Structure 1
Amino acid sequence: MSRRAVSITTISSLIMTLACLLVASVFFERISIGIYEQMETSITGSALQNADHALLEKIILETEEALDQIEDPAAEYSSHEQEYLLNFAKIQDSQDYKTLWNYFNTTRKSTESTCFVLVMLRPRENYWVYVMDASDYNVIPCGTLLLDDFSQYDGHPGKEFDGFVTISPTYGRVRTDGVPAYIDEEKDIYAYLLADIPISEVRQKGYLFILNTAVLAIIITALSCIFVYLAVKKTAVEPINNIAEKAEDFVDSYEKRYGEHLETHIFEELYNGDVSELQNLSRSLSSMELETNSYIKDIDRLAGEKARTNTELEIATRIQAASIPRNFDDYKHISEFELYGDMKPAKAVGGDFYDFFLLDDTHLCLVMADVSGKGIPGALYMMVSMIAIKTRAEQGGNPSEILRYVNDRLSANNSVDMFVTVWLGILDINTGHVIAANAGHEYPAVADENGTYTLMKDKHGFVCGGMEGVRYKDYEFDIPRNGRLFIYTDGVPESANNNNEFFGTDRMLSALNQCSDKNPKQTIEHVQEEIEKFTEGAERFDDTTLLCLWYKG
Structure 2
Amino acid sequence: MIWRISMSEKTVREMNDVEKRHHSLSARVFHSTLLGAIVLGVVSLAIGLGLYTYALLRSYISESFNLSNSAACILKKVVDVESLSNEVMQAYKNQSEAELNEVGSEAYKKRFSYFTQRDDYKLICSVLSDFLSSSNVQAIYLAMYDRESSSIVYIADPDETENICLPCDWEKTDKKAIDAFFSWDGSSMLYDIEKTEKWGWICTSGVPVKNKSGEIVSFVLSDISLLNVREGMKNFLFQYLIAMLLLVNIVGIVSAKRMKKYVVTPINLIASAAQKYVDDKKNGKTLTEQFSSLNIRTGDEVENLGLIMEDMEKDLSEYEKNLTKVTAEKERIGTELALANRIQVDMLPNIYPAFPDRPEFDIYAKMNPAREVGGDFYDYFLIDDDHLYLVMADVSGKGVPAALFMMASKIILGNNALAEKSPAKILEKTNEIICSNNRENMFVTVWLGILEISTGKLTCANAGHEYPAVSEAGKNFELLHDPHGLVVGGMAGMKYKDYVIQLKKGSKVFVYTDGVPEATASSQEMYGTDRMVEALNQNVSATTENILANVRSSVDGFVKDAEQFDDLTMMCLEYIGS
Matched, 1:492 2:516: yes
Matches of 1:467 and 1:430, distance apart in 2: 36
Q: What are the within-5 Å matches in structure 2 for residues 63-462 of structure 1?
A: 243-251=270-278, 265-266=291-292, 268=294, 285-462=309-486
Query: Can you list the C-alpha shifts for 1:235-294, whole angstroms capped at 9, x where unaligned?
Result: 9999887545312432455599976x68664474569799x9x99975653341232232
Matches of 1:333 and 1:525, distance apart in 2: 24
Aligned residue number for residue 517 of structure 1: 541
Change (3 A) 1:251 1:413: same
Structure 1 unaligned segments of length 5 or more: list them. Answer: 10-230
Aligned residue number for residue 532 of structure 1: 556
Aligned residue number for residue 504 of structure 1: 528
Matches of 1:370 and 1:3, distance apart in 2: 51
- Work out whether residues 276 and 290 of structure 2, in 8 Å CA contact, stay in contact via their aligned partners in 1: no
TM-score (norm 2): 0.52
- Work out whether residues 267 and 285 of structure 1, in 8 Å CA contact, stay in contact via their aligned partners in 2: no
Give the Å deviation of 1:330: 3.7
Matches of 2:6 and 2:429, distance apart in 1: 74
Change (3 A) 1:457 1:5: closer
Matches of 1:249 and 1:8, distance apart in 2: 23
Matches of 1:435 and 1:2, distance apart in 2: 70
Give the Å deviation of 1:346: 0.7
Letter in 2 for 1:411: C
Q: 487, 503, 507: which is aligned to 1:463?
A: 487
Change (3 A) 1:258 1:329: same
- Work out whether residues 280 and 288 of structure 2, in 8 Å CA contact, stay in contact via their aligned partners in 1: no
Letter in 1 for 2:9: I
**Secondary structure in 2 matching 1:394:** helix
How many pairs are equivalent? 328
Matches of 1:533 and 1:281, distance apart in 2: 50
Change (3 A) 1:249 1:469: same
Matches of 2:537 and 2:493, distance apart in 1: 40
- Work out whether residues 246 and 266 of structure 1, in 8 Å CA contact, stay in contact via their aligned partners in 2: no
Give the Å deviation of 1:302: 1.6
Change (3 A) 1:3 1:370: closer
- Work out whether residues 486 and 549 of structure 1, in 8 Å CA contact, stay in contact via their aligned partners in 2: yes
Give the Å deviation of 1:313: 0.9
Letter in 1 for 2:564: R
Matches of 1:342 and 1:465, distance apart in 2: 25
Matches of 2:526 and 2:383, distance apart in 1: 37
Matches of 2:3 and 2:506, distance apart in 1: 74
Change (3 A) 1:451 1:252: same
Give the Å deviation of 1:332: 2.4
Matches of 2:339 and 2:3, distance apart in 1: 52
Q: What are the within-5 Å matches in structure 2 for residues 15-34 of structure 1?
A: none
Structure 2 unaligned segments of length 5 or more: list them. Answer: 11-255
- Work out whether residues 351 and 375 of structure 1, in 8 Å CA contact, stay in contact via their aligned partners in 2: yes
Aligned residue number for residue 570 of structure 2: 546
Matches of 1:3 and 1:394, distance apart in 2: 70
Matches of 1:271 and 1:361, distance apart in 2: 89
Query: Can you list the C-alpha shifts for 1:481-500, whole angstroms capped at 9, x where unaligned?
Result: 11110000011101111111
- Work out whether residues 351 and 378 of structure 1, in 8 Å CA contact, stay in contact via their aligned partners in 2: yes
Change (3 A) 1:517 1:344: same
- Work out whether residues 339 and 547 of structure 1, in 8 Å CA contact, stay in contact via their aligned partners in 2: yes
Matches of 2:462 and 2:3, distance apart in 1: 72
**Secondary structure in 2 matching 1:8:** coil
Query: Can you list the C-alpha shifts for 1:376-399, whole angstroms capped at 9, x where unaligned?
Result: 000000000001111111123200
The structure with the largest alpha-carbon Rg is 2
Q: Which moved more, 1:419-428 or 1:305-314?
A: 305-314
TM-score (norm 1): 0.54
**Secondary structure in 2 matching 1:370:** strand
Aligned residue number for residue 8 of structure 1: 9
Letter in 2 for 1:309: I
Matches of 1:296 and 1:330, distance apart in 2: 52
Q: Which moved more, 1:475-484 or 1:328-337?
A: 328-337
Change (3 A) 1:5 1:417: closer
Give the Å deviation of 1:469: 1.4
- Work out whether residues 374 and 398 of structure 2, in 8 Å CA contact, stay in contact via their aligned partners in 1: yes
**Secondary structure in 2 matching 1:321:** helix
- Work out whether residues 257 and 263 of structure 1, in 8 Å CA contact, stay in contact via their aligned partners in 2: no
